[in-house]
Amino acid sequence: MQERISPARRVSGTLRLPGDKSISHRYAMLAAIAEGDTHIRNYSIGADCQSTLGAVSALGAAVERRDGEVVIQGRGLEGLEAPRADIDAGNSGSTIRMLSGILAAQNFSSRIHGDESLSRRPMDRIMRPLSEMGARIAARDGRFPPLAITGARLKPIEYTLPVPSAQVKSCVLFAGLYADGATVVHEPIRSRDHTEIALREFGADIAVERRKITLRGRPRLAGRNLTVPSDLSSAAFFMVAALLIPDSELVIQGVGLNPTRSTLLDFLMSIGASIKVLNVAQVNGELAGDIRISSAPIRGGVIEKETTAALIDEIPVLAVLGAASENGLIIRDAGELRVKETDRIATVVENFRRMGIAAEASPDGLRVPGRQRFRAAAFDSFGDHRIAMAFAVAALRSDGESTIDNADSASVSFPGFFSILRQVSASGSVQ
Ligand code: S3P
């Protein structure tokens, strides 16, 4: 599907966005192995999180949609059933990587696969710790989906994450639920901690001390009533839109503000954005609040080290902002971008090229000079939701109508993105 985007004169309005993708996956997986029903409000409507619902229901945890909630009938830690067919994770790295931790501990075998993009993404990062725990997993070429998982009795391990990855951390912790004794994960670079918070919410015995997480195996998890905050990574596209177009102001309500994710706000403020956070509250252990953002001159800067890990999903749209900033943006330590839904360094540079924007890629980074002119272009998402949305935002500042091919990939995390973008952007030409 192709979308056409006209330049915006102004971006304004009050928005409420779909539920957080990361939190939704975790709630669904834990609900499936908890005892009793879990009710989830504002569960992500993105295709990735529907893949997780499909997976847990294939494992015997009934899923129903009732009055705007997702209700999952928990089967208890030992109650999942062998799936009748291969599990389809679709485009979702979180589904295949995190669920594998649970599948590895079952008393049945299973196979899990995904779409073309997921089939190119490395799984050895979860296979290594899981096999240390005693799991038996076979993968295409030893590291790519599909995975064939033979359930086994797992033992606890102490594991230091070699890459900063919340998916790997979560996979090991989910497997650790089934191991007798304490599973310990050390993370040299902090990654999002939704799993730790969700495990505590469901009643697991988990302790976090600086960068060391200790989880006791074989807890009784109890079904819960949960509300998912809106996705800050989805909000990022609108925030950048408001920063790119003069005289803009947006209020985005009920957004997740977990400190392992809200580095985005700190970074944007550090380069000149004007952001106010209002009505902060805690919901099921997660912070959420309203964000008010208005356009302001953006200086540009450097994203590196821990900041890169904390902003990894936002980098494509931040790169777009960088091209409009005064001094440009330098991104370092971002090798992980090369193994996302697409090689995001390559797909960002290619779309930049199409709009006449100069950028210099390195194996693990990107340099985007500032003060560049945005030309209307024919963009491609290359099947990557965040690339589709990042360049839709770039198109708002361009000098004519742009098109985005394969724009429907946005629905992986954010169905309805394009219609909300149209609602908030009054079209008109930008000088
Ligand atoms: C996610 C973790 C990140 C992120 C992805 C979601 C999660 O991936 O890019 O969109 O929900 O844990 P990695 O764990 O591979 O860094």
pLDDT in tens, 327-340: 999 999 999 999 99
Question: pLDDT at residue 429 above 50?
Answer: no
The pLDDT tens digits for 266-315 are: 999 999 999 999 999 999 999 999 999 999 999 999 999 999 999 999 99
Q: How far does residue 399's CA lie from ligand 1's centre (Å)?
A: 34
pLDDT of residue 428: 59
Between CA 352 and CA 394 the distance in angstroms is 9
Strands in 212-216's sheet, in edge-to-edge order, are 158-160, 182-186, 212-216, 206-209
What's the pLDDT at 431? 34
Residue 405 annotated as catalytic: no
- Give the contacts of 404 (CB within 8 A, at least 6 positions apart): 2, 3, 5, 379, 380, 381, 388, 391, 392, 395
CA 125 – ligand 1 centroid, Å: 13
Candidates 393, 401, 405; CA nearest to 5 is 401
Across-strand partners of 64? 71
pTM above 0.85, yes or no: yes
Distance 201 CA to ligand 1 centre (A): 20
Determine the residue of 165, 185, 190, 333 to mutate for testing ligand 1's pocket, defined as the one with the most ligand atoms within 8 A of the Cβ atom.
Answer: 165
Q: CB of 234 closer than 6 A to ligand 1?
A: no
For residue 36, is pLDDT > 80?
A: yes
Q: What is the pLDDT of residue 116?
A: 97
Q: Tell me the C-alpha distance between 95 and 101, whole Å.
A: 10
Q: How far is CA 310 from CA 190, 263, 307, 336, in A?
A: 8, 6, 5, 12
Give yes or no for residue 46 having a pLDDT over 50: yes
Q: Is the pLDDT of residue 75 over 90?
A: yes
Confidence at residue 193, expressed as pLDDT on a 0 to 100 scale: 98
**Catalytic pick among 115, 290, 313, 380:** 313
CB atoms within 10 A of CB 250: 21
Q: What is the mean pLDDT of residues 10-36?
A: 98
Predicted confidence at residue 294, as pLDDT, reads 96
The helix/strand/coil state of 215 is: strand
Cβ contact 144:121 at 8 Å: yes
Q: Is 22 in the pocket of ligand 1 (CB under 6 A)?
A: yes
The answer, yes or no, to whether any atom of ligand 1 lies below 6 A from the CB of 258, is: no
Contact 316, 381 (CB under 8 A): no
> Looking at residues 205-233, what average pLDDT do you find?
98
- For range 23-51, the mean pLDDT: 98
Averaged pLDDT score across all residues of the chain? 97
Count of helices and strands (H, E) across the chain: 13, 24
Sheet (strand 274-283) strand order: 274-283, 286-294, 249-256, 8-16, 425-427
- Counting from 1 in the atom list of ligand 1, the atom nearest the Cα of 313 is 9
Q: Say how far apart CA 61 and CA 198 lie, in whole Å.
A: 18
Residue 146 has pLDDT above 60, yes or no: yes
Return d(Cα 418, Cα 391) in angstroms, integer: 12
Closest CA to 145 of 84, 92, 85, 80: 92
- pLDDT score at 430: 42
pLDDT at 426: 80
